[in-house]
A = this chain, B = another copy of it.
Amino acid sequence: MHKSLNEIAQHLPANVLAEDCPSRAILQHVTSRWGTLILIALAPGTLRFAELRRRVQGISERMLAQTLQVLESDHLVIRTAHEVVPPHVDYALTPLGAELAVRVLSLAHWIEENLPALQEAQT
């Protein structure tokens, strides 16, 4: 019996340089303007919505809520709502998210440390 295209695709290595590889979409989420910063802010531990908003300076409520939903759907962040009034919602990295965050932090820290070299005299 022949294998379906899907079955074959399953075993092909993912490649972000390929236009239609699903990995590219996730890379996009992670490297989105606010996605990266949210991952970084959550790295040290669980935070509530308002606190997260304060850490990720400059983000609007709308973007925070929206980006969190995307990260949640990628299984990188977990949302825990406590049914009380006023609302109390916690956001944390999943184990998967934590692994990713390590890479993101490494990237961000490198930039922070090499900032002087990066912004040297632009002609």
A residues near B (Cβ < 8 Å) are 13-19, 22-24, 26-28, 30-33, 36-37, 40-41, 55-58, 73-76, 96, 99-100, 103-104, 106-108, 110-115, 117-120, 122
Contacts and interface: CB of A to CB of B under 8 A. Distances in A.
A14 B114 CA distance: 9
A107 B104 contact: yes
B115 A22 contact: yes
Contact of A111 (B100, B108, B112): B100
A112 B56 contact: no
Contacts of A32: 31
B106 A106 contact: yes
A107 B40 CA distance: 14
